[in-house]
Structure 1
Amino acid sequence: MSPERPAVGDLFRRFRERLAVEGPARPGEPGGHALKAGAPNGSRAVGTGAGVARTDVGAAEAGLAPQPPRDVPPVERRRGRRRGGGGEQLTVPPAEFTSYYGRPILKAPVWKCDIAAYLFTGGLAAGSSLLAAGGQLTGRPALRRAGRVTSLAAVSASAYFLVNDLGRPSRFHHMLRVAKLTSPMSMGTWILTTFGPAAGVAAVAEAAPWLPDRGVLGIGRRLLPPVGHAAGLVAAVTAPALATYTGVLLADTAVPSWHEAYPELPTIFAGSALASGAGVGLLAAPPAQAGPARRLAVAGAALELWGSHRVEHRLGLLSEPYATGTAGRLLRAGRALTAAGVAGALVGRRSRVLSALSGGALLAAAVCTRFGIFHGGVASAKDPKYTVVPQRERARRRENQEPHISGPGAGPNGG
């Protein structure tokens, strides 16, 4: 059987007697710390009950460790301690602003690599149609044929990547219900809808020589070439809009490094489209017919390199995502491949092998550039500093520009 507990009055009487001997507890000491006269070094111990003060002797009886006196320096710990010796222990780590109540400041784009591939194939389709138009107007059938076939294949791939990202083909159809000039997505849908059939008719017209001379197919053989020429020109007229609207689309989002680069992204995408189309011409056409492709490569490389340089140096802090990580590696590779492709195209005017290698380098450069821009924007949306720091800088500039009204007459009553 358990021993009989003492009455409440006995406990209170013992507490008063102990309080009279040991003295009252000091404020701020948990459990009631007190110094006992005659205790060694005036050390203290923590009691087990609320408001109960104990000496080292009492602590030993209760099985508690004595508390060191105030004049004894605390034991240094390896973790959570400031450098330079004594001082209080650091219990709260330095704060780092990462979110609002556990939620990210800016929701990162939900787009996957399908959109990055869509950016590349759309530019390739636009550049190839311009190449085909150049071959058509200058009498270079190999250049015209390669550009038309590649344009149809690229725009078909673009449609696939876009519909795959949307999830359902009906969503693409629903976007055609309205044409909104202020919406890059709406305009892009109509541009793609206009460009696709024109590129398809122009590519199908290349099959006219394979049709028989007589019968219904013979009529098609005679009608397809002029119709294909007209469709090729329509596709070429629409190509600049197809090549650049994706840059406008990215800059129209809230993603910091995309939004701030709104003047450069359309230029970069236009240059990348021209360079990729030139790469197709250098790969498919003989050197004797690749003159327009070489000139297209020089123009596209100039636009792309200028835009990439501006993006990586003009935006300040927001240029950082384009120079580090996956985006930085891709953009550096794209610049190197672009320079190598242009140099090979100019040097290898009479070499089919060197022209083909230059064309492959230009196509690879276009892939690296588009994916690098895509990954740079996604990285800037995930890190909150690329949202918070520019906002604070803009607010600080606005405060400095506002006039400070003070002095006599500044009050509402002129006082």
Structure 2
Amino acid sequence: MTVSDFDEYRPPELPRRPKRGSKRRRAGTGEGRGEVPMVPEAEFTSYYGRPVVKPPPWGDPIAAYLFLGGVAGGSALLAAGAQLTGRTILCRNSRLAALAAVGMGAVALVEDLGRPERFLNMLRTIKLTSPMSLGSWILTAFSAGAGVSAVSEIDRMTGSRLPLGPLRRLLRGLEGPAGIEAAVFAAPLSAYTAVLLSDTANPTWNAAREDLPFVFVSSAGLAAGGLAMITTPVREAGPARALAVLGVAGELIASRLMEKNMDPVAAEPLHSDGPGRMLAWSERLAIVGGVGALLGGRYRLTAAVSGVALLSASALTRFGILRAGIRSTENPRYTIEPQKRRLAARREAGVVHDSITTSE
């Protein structure tokens, strides 16, 4: 049934009169208008049992890209801080980690796309309302800065043996600005994937749209801090430990707020089956890694174990959220019930002309 502006001008229907010669049927006897229904009330599933929302064709390569993009962004931010504070080893390791992570992430993205030229096609234009278009440009800009700064570090590590010729002086001059440029795009790189997921009709991702970027950014921080704790001596890894602890606190708080603000039905896939186990273990490992970084991060073995726990926690967060969203498309209940609640809330607020649905 639909709402029309002309409905208020439609005259009321007159009651129907019984036909001559017909016997009036008594109510409640299975005859006439008062008959007892013989068929139970129908429950909505979907058209021929098919999902209401088409599941996204994303698998483990995209989950790996989500994780590696966060590691790259957090590492670039950490490298910029180390650059400004004179921590050369932390700066070098973080720059190399950023380049390696964004490189492997690009491989995972191309693996999902199928052909490399599909990524290049997204750079033919820029669309400010498209998270995918903006994300492609963010990834490109970040990779340029991370690549220049990391190549300079590699050349320095090899004793200036790379065949750069006169470009070496230019590379040394661009090294610092390139590292800062990568840090500028670090947070957008870590957050845009959350916007990309939530800017869909997927019931779980869309319900988390207000808080999911904070979860991803915090997860990127604890992952980058954990990786630096593994690769960097403890005497220079102080900023990495601080970033890891802040990332753990941010992810735990943002995750709680996200679930609190979500529709309870849309949040169910975050706690059920495989995705639920992944996210539960992610929280446990994040707490273990954060406590290790806070209390035992000055000991090399403890720092390394804590770093592994933090990296695992970040990976499980990305894989769990991706799979929870895919799981939410399999059952029409996750789409229909939140819609009905939103419609009922609008009706209670007096909004009645913003939907074609007038009856449940």
Gaps of 5+ in 2: 1-37, 353-360
Mapped partners of 1:349, 1:263: distance in 2: 33
Other-structure match for 1:352: 300
1:252-300 deviation line (CA, Å, top 9, x unaligned)? 0000110011111100000011111101110111111011001111221
Q: Deviations over 1:50-82 (max 9, x none)?
A: xxxxxxxxxxxxxxxxxxxxxxxxxxxxxxxxx
1:367 aligns with 2:326: no
* Counterparts of 1:344 and 1:188, CA distance in 2: 34
Alignment match, 2:73: 126
- From the superposition, tell whether residues 349 and 209 of structure 1 become closer, same or farther in structure 2 (CA, over 3 Å): same
* 1:325 match: 273
Contact 2:155/2:161 (<8 A) preserved: no
Shift of 1:346: 1.4
Normalising by structure 2, we get a TM-score of 0.82
Taking a change above 3 Å as real, the CA distance of residues 214 and 207 of structure 1, as seen in their structure-2 partners, is: closer
Match of 2:289 among 306, 319, 341: 341
In structure 2, the CA distance between the partners of 1:210 and 1:152, relative to structure 1 (3 Å rule), is closer
Structure 1 runs (4+) deviating above 3 angstroms are 91-97, 210-226
**Shift of residue 151, structure 1, vs aligned partner:** 0.7
Q: Would you say the 8 A contact 1:258–1:377 is kept in 2?
A: yes
Higher relative contact order (CA 8 A, sep 6+): 2
Aligned partner of residue 198 in structure 1, secondary structure: helix
Provide the rounded CA distance (Å) in 1 between the counterparts of 2:103 and 2:161: 32
Distance 1:153 1:217, change over 3 A: closer
Q: State the distance in 2 between where 1:302 and 1:214 align.
A: 43
Describe the shift of the 1:103–1:273 C-alpha distance in structure 2 as closer, same or farther (beyond 3 A): same
AA aligned to 2:333 is: K
Conserved in 2, the CA contact under 8 Å of 1:311 and 1:319?
no
Change (3 A) 1:393 1:286: same
Tell me which of 311, 331, 338 is aligned to 1:383. 331
- One-letter amino acid of the counterpart of residue 209, structure 2: Y
Distance 1:150 1:212, change over 3 A: closer
2:202 alignment counterpart:
255
Name the amino acid aligned to 2:178.
A
User: Matched residue of 1:177: which SS?
Assistant: coil
Matches within 5 A, 1:103-252: 103-210=50-157, 219-252=166-199
The answer to whether the Cα contact below 8 Å between 1:251 and 1:258 also exists between their aligned partners in 2 is: yes
| One-letter amino acid of the counterpart of residue 341, structure 1 | G
Contact 1:312 1:323 in 2 (8 A): no
- Pick from 247, 250, 253 the counterpart of residue 300 of structure 1: 247
Kept in 2: contact 1:256–1:386 (CA 8 A): yes
Partner residue, 1:408: none
Residues 328 and 189 of structure 1: is their aligned pair in 2 closer, same or farther, counting only changes over 3 Å? Answer: same
Alpha-carbon RMSD: 2.2
State the Cα distance separating 1:215 from its structure 2 match: 12
Once structures 1 and 2 are overlaid, which stretch shifts more, 217-226 or 153-162? 217-226
Q: What code does the residue aligned with 2:303 have?
A: S
In the alignment, what sits opposite 2:343?
395
Distance 1:215 1:334, change over 3 A: closer
> Which residue of structure 2 aligns with residue 11 of structure 1?
none
Q: How has the CA–CA distance of structure 1 residues 318 and 209 changed in structure 2, closer, same or farther, with 3 Å as cutoff?
A: same
Amino acid at match of 1:146: N
Measure, in 2, the Cα distance between the counterparts of 1:401 and 1:219.
69
- Does the C-alpha gap of structure 1 residues 92 and 191 become closer, same or farther in structure 2, counting only changes over 3 Å? same
Give the TM-score normalised by the residue count of structure 1: 0.71
1:9-20 correspondence runs (5 A): none
CA distance in structure 2 between the partners assigned to 1:194 and 1:330 by the alignment: 32
Identity of aligned residues (%): 49
Gaps of 5+ in 1: 1-90, 405-415
The corresponding residue for 2:224 is 277
Which amino acid in structure 2 is aligned with residue 295 of structure 1?
A
Match of 2:214 among 267, 278, 285: 267
Residue of structure 2 equivalent to 1:25: none
Deviations 1:147-167 (A, max 9, x none): 111111111111111111112
Aligned residue type for 1:331: L
2:341 is paired with a residue whose SS is: helix
| Residues in 1 aligned to 2:136 and 2:161: alpha-carbon distance in whole angstroms | 40
Native 8 Å contact 2:266 2:335 kept in 1? no
Measured after TM superposition, the shift of residue 241 of structure 1 is 0.5
1:182 is paired with a residue whose SS is coil
After superposition, the Cα gap between the structure-2 partners of 1:182 and 1:293, relative to the gap in structure 1 and judged at 3 Å, is same
Displacement of 1:218 after TM fit? 6.8
Equivalent residue letter for 2:218: G
Residue 102 of structure 1 deviates from its aligned partner by 4.2
Q: Identify the residue that residue 9 of structure 2 maps to in structure 1.
A: none
